[in-house]
Chains A and B, each alone.
Chain A
């Protein structure tokens, strides 16, 4: 943005100079209702100096953005204005003739505004205005108008430059913070990996050594599972609903997190690699139904039973399959329990799922446990 302002200034300056030369050449021929210059040679010398400065500032664009350069330009602009007194007779000046450099001093005001903000712009505008007043000698309406416009120009452009600098600084700060967070995440991954490795190793050695060491091993195994569940939450993938108004059904959550809390020594949660985003209310209900199914496993499947919870993202729908390797039930009893809803847990699952507009299938083979499959639309019954 600031660069764009400088570029605009580099274009403005030559045009302002050309306009000044054009005005002077018209005066030189004695048109415009004013007599010719009293000292034409001086007029051309002054315009020549301004022209050289203009060409130089275009050629050395990058070096012309320093305080010393714009300071000198301002002095040059004021001198050019004051030189009008020598070029023209006081009568002509009081008659309302334009100053010799015309619009050119505005370039110095803008340069100050871009470099030093609104204060710099207005200061430069005041100095140029002062030179104008000294040149004319009295405050004519025309001069006052010019001065007000110059001050407004310096103030406005300076304010724009200030804003863009602040925006740039804020952007830089945000980028720095993001880079820092990324680096912290990277370090955290290394640390987490090391801790997971160590906990796994303690578990392994503890089981080897037996006795009290075995207890230590089991504690390590538990902590390892918890840490793994925490780390899998992939914080660098914000939920897609995060930008929408977070109201009610609109909010989306990752089902992997909602079900991840069930993972322990008995229950394995098997998620896909990417997030499974769905309406938060649906995810909560689905998680409660899965919890009920797992309670059922703990109650009925036997002491050594293990359960697996498979999460499948099918696009519009989500399917969660809960299987245990417990004693299972005969198909007849299962059907009977399901139909009469006497099985409290099965009833609770069915109730929750029918509220969500989802489906439940129950399957059991003797010897290979029970399988509960829950399918529900990600957006809930409304869709």
Chain B
């Protein structure tokens, strides 16, 4: 189900890839949103900030097809698209094994939808009420391969690990991903509003290490999600070659 390319996406990227000066290499973006006003506004803001918007999409199906056709650096994705849900779009893009990263930009109040999309492969989450500068910075960070962890997303990821740990149905403890003590500490600090630099200063580690810890928690969750899907597929006898 997963080729070597898909595997590589789960490795921590922040430390490996040096921050590129973004003025030299333009970041290519696809914007998917079913509200035309928002779609245009976001696309205009991103173009003004120097990004190249290579496509826009108004529904889930065309978000996937545009992304597969243009292979942008970042897909800015609204969760409530007609046709396909946000998690399905994320899964389709991860399955296609293209380097595009997904940043969720949503007005949705459904936290479970956000969590599902992140588990399916999105690496960032921003509310639409966030300011323009925040959005531009988030797209830039996502293009660099960094996870965009708002306090809200850190809280959701932390909550999901807690839920997995508390699940009575977890017969085999090895199957449940666990956070290290340091990862838990870092996630809690991110969830209560501290920046990577502040956390680094507090814990006497570099802010890059902090970012790595954050990225690792996301990788563990997404890997667990893939493993669960494969297990489900095998249990249903869907593993036979077609």
Give the B-binding residues of A (Cβ under 8 A).
Answer: 189-190, 192-194, 196-197, 200-201, 203-204, 207, 221, 224-225, 227-229, 231-232, 268, 270-274, 306-308, 310-315, 321-323, 325, 365, 368, 371
Q: How far is the CB of A265 from chain B (nearest CB, A)?
A: 10
Asked if B163 is at the interface (CB within 8 A of a chain A CB), the reply is yes
B159: contacting residue among A203, A207, A231, A313, CB under 8 A: A313
Given A193-B107, A204-B132, A207-B131, residue A271 in contact with residue B155 (CB < 8 A): yes
> Which of chain B's residues have a CB closer than 8 A to the CB of A229?
109
Give the nearest-CB partner of A323 in chain B: B192
29 A-B pairs, CB-CB below 8 angstroms?
A193-B107, A196-B128, A197-B35, A200-B128, A201-B37, A201-B38, A201-B41, A201-B128, A203-B129, A231-B110, A232-B109, A232-B111, A271-B155, A272-B158, A272-B160, A272-B162, A272-B163, A273-B111, A273-B112, A273-B159, A310-B188, A310-B191, A311-B155, A312-B159, A313-B162, A313-B166, A314-B162, A315-B162, A315-B165
Query: Contact at B188–A314, with CB atoms within 8 Å?
Result: no
Are B191 and A228 interface neighbours, CB within 8 A? no
Task: Report the separation of the CA atoms of residues A312 and B156 in the bound assembly, to the nearest whole angstrom.
Answer: 10
Task: Report how far A379 CA is from B152 CA in the complex, Å.
Answer: 27
B contact set with A: CB distance below 8 Å? 35, 37-38, 41, 80, 107-112, 114-115, 127-129, 131-132, 151-152, 154-156, 158-160, 162-163, 165-166, 188, 191-194, 198, 202
Residue pair B193, A308 in contact (C-beta under 8 Å): yes
Report chain B residues within 8 Å CB of A310.
151, 155, 158, 188, 191-192
A231-B115 Cα distance, complex, nearest whole Å:
16
Residues of A within 8 A of B159 (CB): 271-274, 311-313
- B219 CB, min distance to chain A CBs, angstroms: 19
Known: A203-B129, A221-B129. A312 touches B166 (CB 8 A): no
Residues of A within 8 A of B165 (CB): 315
Complex: chain B residue closest to A368, CB-CB: B198
Given A196-B109, A272-B160, residue A204 in contact with residue B41 (CB < 8 A): yes
Q: B151 contacts which of A201, A270, A314 (Cβ < 8 Å)? A: A270
Minimum distance in angstroms from B54 CB to a CB of chain A: 23
Distance (whole angstroms) from the CB of A240 to the closest CB of chain B: 13
How far, in angstroms, from A317 to B192 measured CA to CA in the complex?
19
Q: Which residues of B contact A311 (CB under 8 A)?
A: 155, 159
